[in-house]
Structure 1
Amino acid sequence: MLKLKNVHTYYDNIHALKGIDLVINRGEIVTLIGSNGAGKTTTLGTITGLLKPKTGKIFYNDKEMTGIIPGEIVKRGISLSPEGREVFPQLSIHDNLRLGAYTRKNKKEIEESYDMVYELFPRLKERKNQVSKTLSGGEQQMLAIARALMAKPEVLLLDEPSLGLSPNLVQMIFKLIKDINNLGTTILLVEQNAKMALRVADRAYVLETGKIIMEGDAKKLLNDENVKKAYLGNL
């Protein structure tokens, strides 16, 4: 469904991604784990067109989309919930969601998407007219994910959805990730909480200094001694 083939991405002279090969199949949750600076967010930025790879190719549904502008990528079915939430602070929850659907024209389908995200996130429905800057960190994270879902993506990219949240909220966010996947959305999850990410994912890639150093079944990687020592601490 989504493939990266030998992708190299640079920030000026910094070689951030060094020949990434990545495959996400329809219906999967795939997680990309690694330490700070490994290239996880760069990978998502390259997929979404925010960064242009110097070499390599990106394919989506068997069509190349390397170098396509971000808005067109959203129209094709790939949506991002960014690191740090990045909600529009002065706007209400409902208006944030409206902006998530900016590429869509069918009003009936957009209303159906509102119903869907409010069912997934009842806390947002209760506060839909509340200004977003007044929300808690967990509520803002829910809003960022819900806004990405308003684009009606086939593939949802999640960048550090549990960052800065309390343990209870982390559990809630990961349950929501599973629920979203069960509704038919394919997910690529970037997470520093490798333990939780591997528990929820089908497959995983381990990224280190811009290179994939390990890949495979997420549950097997969860029990791999090298992964435990490097990323999971004591289980």
Structure 2
Amino acid sequence: MLKVEDLNVYYGAIHAIKGISLEVEEGQIVTLIGANGAGKTTTLRTISGLNKAKSGQITFKGKSINSVPAQDIMAMGISQVPEGRRVFANMTVLENLELGAYLRKDKNGIKKDMDRVFLKFPRLFERIKQQAGTLSGGEQQMLAMGRALMSKPKLLLLDEPSMGLAPLLVQEIFSIIKELNQEGTTILLVEQNAHMALSIAHQAYVLETGRIVLSGDAKELASRPEISEAYLGGAVGH
């Protein structure tokens, strides 16, 4: 579904992404793990058209999206839940969700997806008229995910969904990610909590200072000593 080949991205003079290649098959959860500053967010932002690649190729469903504007990439079916949630604080929960569907014209479909979001995140329904800025961190994460789902994505990009959340909420968010995938949404997950990410992903890539240093089956990577030392030891979740 998504193919990234030999991607290079710069921030000014800084070579942030150094020739990475990765693939996301339809129906999979693929995770990108790595320390802070490894280039995980930059990779997602480049896929969704917010950053421009210096060189390399990004293909979605067989079409190159390198020079496609971000809003058109979203219309093609790629939706991103940004790091730090970024909900519209002064708008209500309902208005945030409606914004997620702003490119859609199918009123019945929108209504159906709204119901589905409330089924997945009952707490959002309870706070439907509340301003998003007054929600807890966990609720804002649910809202950011719900808003992305309202665009009916074929591929959902999740950037650090567990960041700053209490362990119980992390469990809840991850079980919802797994459910969404089982219901047919393909997911590319960027996550510092490597342990959680590897436990639900099919494939994994390990990013270090802009390069992919390891990749393969997520369960197999989770059991490798160098991974558990670097990413699953005391540093997990901090």
Q: Is structure 2 residue 207 aligned with structure 1 residue 210?
A: no
Cα deviations by residue, 1:38-94 (Å, 9 ceiling, x for unpaired): 000000000000001000010000111112111000000000000000000000000
What is the match of residue 45 of structure 2? 45
Instruction: Write out the 4+ residue segments of structure 1 that deviate beyond 3 Å after TM superposition.
Output: none
- The letter of the residue matching 2:217 is D
Cα deviations by residue, 1:130-181 (Å, 9 ceiling, x for unpaired): 1111101000000000000000000000000000000100000100100111
Output the TM-score relative to the length of structure 2. Answer: 0.97
Alpha-carbon separation, structure 1, partners of 2:19 and 2:163: 27
What are the ranges of 5 or more consecutive residues in structure 1 without an aligned counterpart? Answer: none
Q: Alpha-carbon deviation of 1:126?
A: 1.2
Q: Is structure 2 residue 129 aligned with structure 1 residue 129?
A: yes
- The letter of the residue matching 2:122 is P
What is the match of residue 23 of structure 1? 23
Specify the SS of the correspondent of 1:52.
coil
- The letter of the residue matching 1:231 is Y
What is the match of residue 184 of structure 2? 184
- The letter of the residue matching 1:82 is P
- The letter of the residue matching 2:106 is N
Percent of aligned positions that are identical: 57
Q: Alpha-carbon deviation of 1:15?
A: 0.3
What is the match of residue 101 of structure 1? 101
What is the match of residue 173 of structure 1? 173
CA RMSD of superposed structures (Å): 0.9
Q: How many residues align?
A: 235
- The letter of the residue matching 1:197 is A
What are the ranges of 5 or more consecutive residues in structure 2 without an aligned counterpart? Answer: none
Alpha-carbon separation, structure 1, partners of 2:12 and 2:112: 43
Alpha-carbon separation, structure 1, partners of 2:111 and 2:71: 21
Alpha-carbon separation, structure 1, partners of 2:93 and 2:180: 19
Output the TM-score relative to the length of structure 1. Answer: 0.99
Alpha-carbon separation, structure 2, partners of 1:106 and 1:74: 16
